[in-house]
Structure 1
Amino acid sequence: MGSGSKIVYWTSEALCVVLFLWFWFALPKQLFTSPTSYVVEAGRGELLSASIAGDGQWRFPASDREVPEKYMRCLLAFEDKRFFSHPGIDVLAMGRAIRQNIKARTVVSGGSTITMQVIRLSRRQSRTVRQKLTEMILALRLELRHSKAEILKLYAANAPFGSNVVGLDAAAWRYYGRPAERLSWGEMATLAVLPNSPSLVRPGRNAGLLVRKRNRLLDKLVESGVVDKATADLSKLEPIPGAPKALPQHAPHLLNRFKREYASLSKEGVGTTRITTTVDYDLQLKLSDLLKRYQNRYRSNGINNIAALVLNVKQGSVAAYVGNIFKPEDKELESHVDMISAARSPGSTLKPLLYACMLSDGFILPKTLIPDIPTQISGYSPQNYDLGYDGAIPADQALSRSLNIPAVKMLQTYRYQRFYDKLKQFGLSTLNRPPDHYGLSLILGGSEVTLWDLSAAYLGMARTLNHFNDHKGRYNPHDYDAPVYLKKAGDKVFARDKRLKDEETSLSSVTDFGSIWNTFNAMEEVMRPGEEGLWEQFSSSQRLAWKTGTSFGFRDAWAIGLTPDHLVCIWVGNADGEGRPGLTGIDVAAPVLFDVFRQLPAGPWFKMPKQMMKTYTACKQSGYKAGEYCTDRMQMHGSPAGEKTGLCPYHKLVYLDRTGRHRVTDACEQPGMMLRRPWFILPPAMAYYYKSKHSEYTEPPALMPGCEEESSQQMMEMIYPKNNAMVYIPVELDGSPGKLVLDATHRYTSAEIHWHIDEEYVGTTQHRHQLALQPKPGRHTLTLVDNNGLRLVQVFTVLNKAL
């Protein structure tokens, strides 16, 4: 071979390599880059909501489902009958097209295969001979990269269907209001012919031409044996679509949530704007209808908005998501606002979390007595909803009755800084200010939470309790992960439960198993509204741990309830924050909660994590661990941390004379002659209110005359104002200055108390020790002296400001 021949040979080789490389890399990795609609589907693929793409087109992302059989048959009969046998170019169809075009002296047929049409749709180039040749080459390359089924999916997802509709899925919904899988032969035939000339043939225009094209295709299907003649004749009678239909909007707020979170979800592998969620389609629709009925009822009171979230506890996933009633035509309702994501005051819904934390950290046992008396802490004076006082109440009853003063007393003991840190661990993302900003009001709704975060906190507790047996007493750190609503996005499947090895589990959690068990049982005792109050009389009733909440000013009404299987959270109010009379958790949110639970299957209650709990011998009257003077005892299961709690401080040994009618001391009676009796004795202020609710409570007998008296602190107590308190003098409705009501209590109701302010006598009281005065602004010294000469001295300051 000569040198010239070698050059020609190597040049030819190089040219072949270049052509091969061009051919191999000619197709971009992603053929179609146009923006797609956001599409949200329910768990079985039902369409919940969708939004138009960024370029104004209804273009659904490609689905991983197969192209419907009917559409494939219609498409192949109309466009490419040898699709499954050719390599991307149909030589026979191309030859036929050339003959027809020559005969007609114009282009009447392109001879393009479906593969070539996919290339043309992706390139969007003008139709020239050169572009046609390029499409043919790229079609061959496409056939090497993708299977026939994948090429059909690409075509079905990107073919134009007239107007601003792109893709089979969007066309089925826009023209027929149903998914493509449920279309008839006539409807599928109509959609199969549309991409052939979408600018000429549009539903609503040129109806006759569209009908003729459809009918000719149906005749072809009969000829090829795909359908029988009767089916084709019936299909020809079907009307063609008119104006495009609106797409379903069954979960518009979840759709918007997906849009907001798409950027972060993309980092987790979500590369498509079409997702299959964990939502139960039937439950979602039932819930939407239920909330609309309640909203219609509440709107007469100016209450416009309502939201509900249902979670599957065992899966940690969203079963229903209704962020608001959806009435976009009524702008005043602000129904576009997703109240599941909105930060609102939680009212009393954080109280169970505090109760669980105090149990888990060893501050209380489940039934420890908590003070419930008039309270003022640094100018902060919480009030119970009923404006009454119990004196002292077991912690679990304080929770079930949602009493504010015991909750504040508990938080004062636990410290709001510690509780703030716990709430962060529970996942509350809206605590964006330091703990001192919230103070003790944190437990009464002084912060803001979202319905999503609140539900996630209780979900974590329920999942933890469900899993107490899974890891040999250890904790799964993922139990407090946020709920998931993605089931599938494209080819990626999202799993909520993670299989953990023992070494990946934790020895501790936000709260322990026993504390959660006690908390849910206390929440179960909350009195249900209306007829639900008799729930225990029905064996089929669902056991339910639940809590309501009402924010200050009647702006937000909450109800949250859970079982081992489901968690439901309800919010009712106005998106603009307007308060309304009667907007309380128990009146407007709780009825919705129980109606939602009626839509859910009932199941068993939580299993008791007995092996993870400790049994305590507790004093029945005080709920503390029983000391030596507790005579009435009970067995109680609680957190192992309860071992750190103290012995009962209210049971004391009392010394009586031989008759048992007087208390004595060694100053007036010989020790050998004394009777020793254990006695349940509360501090004076607690006893004052406690005995009004507990007729069985008895004070110890009075001291025998001549015996040394107890200290004034043991006998008298100031209820209001407390020592070093700062108070305001109220102004009456007519504008005149009001009076400050001083309130005290004495262990013996028959005792007299003589009142002095700044060493000036101002009055005497007996039985009920209250005195109304008008002290001047400034610091004052208050002195109380009883008829036995015992003195109680403390100070208070009247501020120079009217209420």
Structure 2
Amino acid sequence: MFHRQFATSLKHHIRSHKIGYGCLSALLVLLWSADKLFPLPAPGRDSFNVIVVAKDGTPLRAFPDRAHIWRHPIKLDAVSPYYIQSLIAYEDKNFWWHPGVNPLSLLRATYQWLRYGHIVSGGSTLTMQVARILDPTPRTMSGKLKQIARALQLEYHYSKTEILDLYMNFAPMGGVLEGVEAASRAYLGKPANRLTHAEAALLTVLPQLPSVLRPDRYPQKAQLARNKVVYRMRGIWSTAEIKDALTEPIAALTVREPLLAPLLAQRMKSQNPGQLRIDTTIDSIAQQTVETLLVDRVNVLPPRISMAAMVMDNRTAEVVAYAGSADFTDRERFSNVDMVRASRSPGSTLKPFLYAFALDEGLIHSESLLSDTPQSFSGYQPGNFQQNFHGPVSVSEALVKSLNVPAVQVLDQLGSVPFVAMLRRGGLKLEFPKGAAPNLSVILGGAGARLEDMVAAYSSLARAGMAVTPRFVPSAPLQERRMMSEGAAFIVRDILETGGPVGRAVEGNGSYRGIAWKTGTSFGFRDAWALGVSQRYTIGVWVGRPDGTPNPGFFGANIAAPLLVDIFNALPDGRNLSPNPAPATVKQEKICWPSGTRASDNIIDGNEDLCPLQRTAWTLNGIAPPTFPDRLQAMSPRLTYFVDQQTGKRVLPDCAQHAYRQQQIMRWPAALQLWLDPDLHKKSLPPEWDSSCSAHYSSSYSDGNALKIMGLNDGELIRQANGGKLPEAKLELRGSHGEVNWMVNGRLLTDKRINQTIKFPNAGRYDITAFDMQGNFDRIGVSVQMQ
């Protein structure tokens, strides 16, 4: 009997468990089906705005989502632990163990609803709040049930940490702000990982009534709500921490769109599609400093003028400041045009590279003799910015004073095509008009260059000749390219900073010590440039109108250089004055003018006839090259002649009356003869001929200045004739020998005949000069008066 009863009971028990298992299985299938039929709305990547941040995490610019909501993506480990503590303690202390809903909280909320007839507390867990954020529901019973179902779905699909991440990124924080990071940046001006206890409590309570508790608008209400959270933290925070939190005032910033380096941020966004957070190398403090300097400077300039500046750290090639326009909010100044990337005429800013390449090619040393005189290079006649000439100048002087004719003279020797190729080898690619080829005008701005590339190229002066590719993001590799040798970089930088081995610089001395810099002005005053290097930074500045309209009176030295110096001064270590020792390939040597070679090779037994002027030069690789060949006279640079030992006058062996000796002098280039001071000019010519040799040479060459311009007298006044015909003068040169040259107001005429017709198109003073290949010259000045 007992066994029969036990067997019957066991069958009933098994049958009941089968029914239970079946019901449970059916319930699970139902829940699974419901989950598939009503999937949980998941935030996509487009739910977040793209944010570009500085190296320290400071937002540079944020691009809002489609609903114009500001969210900054953040993970749990990037938030202050004080915020996590206060959030869990205040909002959902059982968050880590419940399945998405808290039955006790729901029962309490239901009881309050039945008793009072309206919802007193929602009983919502953090998971339920996230569910309502992802799938908004009305505050009704049906809405609450749907919210509970969504919360269970969340717990099924996500971990607790992931759910907390969703809350921290999507919790409403007032206005267009969502998420703790966006609120912390906007209200408090700091990242969420640096929140104090009081700030963590404030951001914890803010989502409850985000419009009412905004700290920037209602600080008193926000403080009361914050304190409520702080009191709830007893037992979690220490008494001292709670006391400090309660006494901390509410000091919220006015919510503004982050707008640092806006054009760089736009560039990074376009270059990194799909990336929500883009970290850059920008130093937020340096960026603010540069932008402030640009705004202050541009506000005193005419309308439509813009500015651009870029600062690069020489050690890492990281771009620490980038201002593509002067004031991003001023549309009249073409603020949306990024002039860091625009191709513009660089003016004279390529000259340092020209002299560096010529040094590496063994064509020059720092004191090589150049001719700053009117010259024609196959029909190309460059002039200087100030429309005057200096005569004999060294490479150092030509570079510091930014003289055009000497630069073209050096480029003529180096070659335009090799020069452009060398720049490209170092990473600086020039842009030419379609179908145009490199020519001599390239050194004066006859091609386009970008400020970004110019800064990269100039860094070679501070990096032992190695140029770099600017790095805008930390992940970018360091890319170096050889622009010039270490020795050439040292010499050019020393010239730009100090004027060379004897310190004759104009721009590099005094208050500018510690900066090696160069200015440039494009044709028609369209672009003003200044680029410079210190031990720490390379900085470039551009000023002008993005549409290319000329700006008369704007040139590099007066408009761009002061801003460059201000930026160097404002940056830490901007003008590091640590010594820059000369490399082993560079040394100082005495050289001679006009030969250009070492003094030791020209001064023999104390005779200085071959070395009338000595200068101290930087030489590279032990090379002291001679002065370039004379372009106006194809003659040996050394003149050998005979001198009567009794009279000291010039003779020939077959007409000498006494013992004679052979002597030599160095010829100055013919183009420089007119520019020598009287004493030096006299030394540059052999002595007058002895009368005993008059049968061999005309007495018209008895001195070094036998030429005479005939047809006008020095100081003569010329008036315009009746009828309005332009005045002119027919001139003749007497006493010349060989080819002659004429100049009018410093401009060389192409006609080299003895007889000339000079036309005077305008009133004013005209200086007329003529000279021959022997160094003889005559000069007159006349005044022209128009009716």
TM-score grouping bracket, smaller chain normalisation = 0.7 to 0.9
Q: Displacement of 1:691 after TM fit?
A: 4.2
Q: Secondary structure at the match of 1:463?
A: coil
2-side partners of 1:178 and 1:586: how far apart?
A: 40
Residue by residue, what CA displacement relative to the aligned partner does 1:505-528 show, whole Å, maximum 9, x if unpaired? 99xx3311111111111212469x
Q: Displacement of 1:166 after TM fit?
A: 1.5
Counterpart residue number, 2:554: 583
- Aligned with residue 706 of structure 1, among 695, 708, 722: 695
- Aligned with residue 293 of structure 1, among 277, 282, 296: 296
Count of aligned residue pairs for this structure pair? 696
Say if 2:369 is the partner of 1:382: no
Q: Displacement of 1:31 after TM fit?
A: 5.2
- Aligned with residue 536 of structure 2, among 565, 569, 573: 565
- Aligned with residue 273 of structure 1, among 257, 271, 277: 277
Say if 2:470 is the partner of 1:483: yes
2-side partners of 1:696 and 1:195: how far apart?
A: 92
- The root-mean-square deviation of aligned C-alpha atoms, in Å, is 5.3
1-side partners of 2:600 and 2:629: how far apart?
A: 6
Q: Displacement of 1:404 after TM fit?
A: 0.6
Output the amino acid matched with 1:514.
G
Specify whether residues 51 and 65 from structure 1 end up closer, same or farther in structure 2 by C-alpha distance, changes over 3 A only.
Answer: farther
2-side partners of 1:111 and 1:740: how far apart?
A: 107
Output the amino acid matched with 1:139.
E
Counterpart residue number, 2:783: none
Residue by residue, what CA displacement relative to the aligned partner does 1:524-565 show, whole Å, maximum 9, x if unpaired? 2469xxxx9698568xx7432111111222222222221221
Counterpart residue number, 2:255: 245
Q: Displacement of 1:274 after TM fit?
A: 4.0
- Aligned with residue 515 of structure 1, among 476, 484, 488: 488
Q: Displacement of 1:364 after TM fit?
A: 2.4
- Aligned with residue 58 of structure 1, among 70, 73, 82: 70
2-side partners of 1:545 and 1:177: how far apart?
A: 37
Specify whether residues 260 and 697 from structure 1 end up closer, same or farther in structure 2 by C-alpha distance, changes over 3 A only.
Answer: farther
2-side partners of 1:88 and 1:664: how far apart?
A: 117
2-side partners of 1:199 and 1:70: how far apart?
A: 23
Counterpart residue number, 1:793: none
- Conserved? CA contact 2:586–2:622, under 8 Å: no
Specify whether residues 118 and 130 from structure 1 end up closer, same or farther in structure 2 by C-alpha distance, changes over 3 A only.
Answer: closer
- Conserved? CA contact 1:43–1:278, under 8 Å: yes
Residue by residue, what CA displacement relative to the aligned partner does 1:413-460 show, whole Å, maximum 9, x if unpaired? 222222222232343355154684552221111222222111111013
Q: Secondary structure at the match of 1:464?
A: coil
Q: How does 1:83-102 map to 2 (within 5 A)?
A: 83-84=95-96, 93=105
Specify whether residues 398 and 534 from structure 1 end up closer, same or farther in structure 2 by C-alpha distance, changes over 3 A only.
Answer: closer
- Conserved? CA contact 2:514–2:534, under 8 Å: yes
Specify whether residues 84 and 331 from structure 1 end up closer, same or farther in structure 2 by C-alpha distance, changes over 3 A only.
Answer: same
Q: Secondary structure at the match of 2:664?
A: strand
1-side partners of 2:548 and 2:469: how far apart?
A: 26
1-side partners of 2:732 and 2:53: how far apart?
A: 63
Q: How does 1:612-623 map to 2 (within 5 A)?
A: 612-613=585-586, 618-623=591-596
Higher RCO (Cα < 8 Å, 6 or more apart): 1
Q: How does 1:628-777 map to 2 (within 5 A)?
A: 629=602, 631-632=610-611, 637-640=618-621, 642=623, 651-659=637-645, 661-666=648-653, 668-669=655-656, 673-691=659-677, 698-703=684-689, 704-707=693-696, 737=726, 763=755, 772-773=758-759
- Conserved? CA contact 1:173–1:247, under 8 Å: no
2-side partners of 1:184 and 1:67: how far apart?
A: 11
Counterpart residue number, 2:315: 314
Specify whether residues 380 and 286 from structure 1 end up closer, same or farther in structure 2 by C-alpha distance, changes over 3 A only.
Answer: same
2-side partners of 1:694 and 1:586: how far apart?
A: 33
- Conserved? CA contact 1:351–1:399, under 8 Å: yes
Q: Displacement of 1:679 after TM fit?
A: 1.0
1-side partners of 2:734 and 2:427: how far apart?
A: 44
- Aligned with residue 152 of structure 2, among 136, 142, 162: 136
- Conserved? CA contact 2:55–2:282, under 8 Å: yes
Q: Secondary structure at the match of 2:353?
A: helix
Counterpart residue number, 2:416: 416
Specify whether residues 629 and 122 from structure 1 end up closer, same or farther in structure 2 by C-alpha distance, changes over 3 A only.
Answer: same
Residue by residue, what CA displacement relative to the aligned partner does 1:50-77 show, whole Å, maximum 9, x if unpaired? 4434441112232686213443333223
2-side partners of 1:635 and 1:304: how far apart?
A: 44
Residue by residue, what CA displacement relative to the aligned partner does 1:384-429 show, whole Å, maximum 9, x if unpaired? 1232233332222211111011111222222222222223234335
- Conserved? CA contact 1:699–1:747, under 8 Å: no
Q: Secondary structure at the match of 1:486?
A: coil
- Conserved? CA contact 1:561–1:569, under 8 Å: yes
- Aligned with residue 165 of structure 1, among 151, 164, 177: 177
2-side partners of 1:524 and 1:517: how far apart?
A: 10
1-side partners of 2:649 and 2:752: how far apart?
A: 35
Instruction: Output the TM-score relative to the length of structure 2.
Output: 0.73
Q: Displacement of 1:771 after TM fit?
A: 5.9
- Conserved? CA contact 1:118–1:151, under 8 Å: yes
2-side partners of 1:666 and 1:55: how far apart?
A: 101
Q: Displacement of 1:232 after TM fit?
A: 6.8
2-side partners of 1:594 and 1:180: how far apart?
A: 37
Q: Displacement of 1:199 after TM fit?
A: 7.6
2-side partners of 1:444 and 1:64: how far apart?
A: 57
Q: Displacement of 1:213 after TM fit?
A: 5.2
Output the amino acid matched with 1:325.
A
Q: Secondary structure at the match of 2:539?
A: strand
Specify whether residues 341 and 64 from structure 1 end up closer, same or farther in structure 2 by C-alpha distance, changes over 3 A only.
Answer: farther
Say if 2:566 is the partner of 1:595: yes
Specify whether residues 287 and 100 from structure 1 end up closer, same or farther in structure 2 by C-alpha distance, changes over 3 A only.
Answer: same
Gaps of 5+ in 2: 1-16, 604-609, 631-635, 708-719, 743-748, 762-769, 777-787
- Conserved? CA contact 1:39–1:255, under 8 Å: no
2-side partners of 1:103 and 1:590: how far apart?
A: 78
Specify whether residues 546 and 693 from structure 1 end up closer, same or farther in structure 2 by C-alpha distance, changes over 3 A only.
Answer: farther
Of the structure 1 ranges 611-620 and 205-214, higher mean CA displacement relative to structure 2 is found in: 205-214
- Conserved? CA contact 1:312–1:319, under 8 Å: yes
- Conserved? CA contact 2:532–2:539, under 8 Å: yes
Q: How does 1:94-133 map to 2 (within 5 A)?
A: 111-115=123-127, 117-118=129-130, 121=133, 129=145, 132-133=148-149
Say if 2:262 is the partner of 1:255: yes
Residue by residue, what CA displacement relative to the aligned partner does 1:93-138 show, whole Å, maximum 9, x if unpaired? 5665566667678766565543554466456789574663353243
Specify whether residues 64 and 187 from structure 1 end up closer, same or farther in structure 2 by C-alpha distance, changes over 3 A only.
Answer: closer
2-side partners of 1:208 and 1:366: how far apart?
A: 71
2-side partners of 1:157 and 1:525: how far apart?
A: 56
Counterpart residue number, 1:474: none
Counterpart residue number, 1:611: 584
1-side partners of 2:53 and 2:732: how far apart?
A: 63
Specify whether residues 610 and 214 from structure 1 end up closer, same or farther in structure 2 by C-alpha distance, changes over 3 A only.
Answer: closer
2-side partners of 1:654 and 1:445: how far apart?
A: 43
- Conserved? CA contact 1:524–1:543, under 8 Å: yes
- Conserved? CA contact 2:590–2:616, under 8 Å: yes
Counterpart residue number, 2:443: 443
2-side partners of 1:116 and 1:389: how far apart?
A: 83
2-side partners of 1:442 and 1:741: how far apart?
A: 38
Q: Displacement of 1:27 after TM fit?
A: 11
Q: Secondary structure at the match of 2:51?
A: strand
- Conserved? CA contact 1:664–1:707, under 8 Å: no
Counterpart residue number, 1:403: 403
Counterpart residue number, 1:723: none
